[in-house]
């Protein structure tokens, strides 16, 4: 009776025309405003745009490889941390890029790699 709006991601289970949640809600509340979440739409647009830019794809692969080197090998991580202590550089954890909330994840990972560059350089050159 008092529901005025419904917002969700674009999943068909939520916004499907035949049996989506929004369709069922609209039957009960005919004057309801239903819309696809703006943040989710922006995320989808950015995902589509990234696929078209070759340099970003290379960047994603590069950061993901660095992530894998230290995430899958405790030995590599220990060596990496030793080098960071020797160089007195504080390390930010290098995370996955382009995960579920890729914009924030990729910024953190990019900053982590940028700050750890001297450590990474010494790690890969030794």
Q: Encode pLDDT of 38-65 as tens digits.
A: 777 787 787 788 778 888 878 888 888 9
pLDDT, average across residues 3-32: 85
Please give the pLDDT value at position 4: 84
Contacts 24+ apart (CB under 8 A), 50-53: 50/98
Q: Per residue in 62-94, pLDDT tens? A: 888 999 999 999 999 999 999 999 999 998 888
State yes or no: pLDDT of 120 exceeds 70: yes
Question: Residue 123 corresponds to which tokens in the numbers above?
Answer: 């790690």
DSSP secondary-structure letter at 74? Answer: H
Which tops the pLDDT comparison, 23 or 1? 23
- Residues ≥6 apart with Cβ < 8 Å to 36: 7, 8, 9, 10, 15
Compute the distance between CA of residue 81 and CA of residue 63 in angstroms, rounded to an integer: 18
Q: Per residue in 88-117, pLDDT tens? A: 999 888 887 765 566 667 778 888 899 999
Structural domain boundaries in the chain = 5-36, 54-125
Q: What is the mean pLDDT of the chain?
A: 85
- Do 63 and 113 meet the contact criterion of CB atoms below 8 Å apart? yes
Compute the distance between CA of residue 94 and CA of residue 115 in angstroms, rounded to an integer: 10
- Do 67 and 93 meet the contact criterion of CB atoms below 8 Å apart? no
Please give the pLDDT value at position 126: 84
Contacts 24+ apart (CB under 8 A), 109-113: 109/63, 109/67, 110/63, 113/63, 113/66
């Amino acid at each position: 009776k008092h529901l005025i709006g419904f917002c969700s991601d674009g999943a068909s289970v939520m916004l499907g025309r035949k049996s989506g949640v929004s369709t069922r809600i609209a039957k009960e509340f005919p004057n309801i405003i239903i819309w696809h979440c703006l943040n989710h739409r922006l995320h989808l647009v950015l995902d589509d745009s990234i696929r078209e830019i070759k340099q970003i794809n290379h960047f994603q692969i590069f950061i993901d490889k660095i992530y894998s080197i230290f995430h899958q090998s405790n030995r590599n991580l220990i060596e990496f941390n030793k080098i960071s202590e020797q160089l007195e550089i504080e390390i930010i954890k290098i995370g996955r890029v382009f995960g579920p909330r890729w914009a924030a994840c990729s910024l953190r990972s990019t900053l982590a790699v940028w700050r750890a560059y001297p450590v990474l350089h010494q790690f890969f050159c030794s």
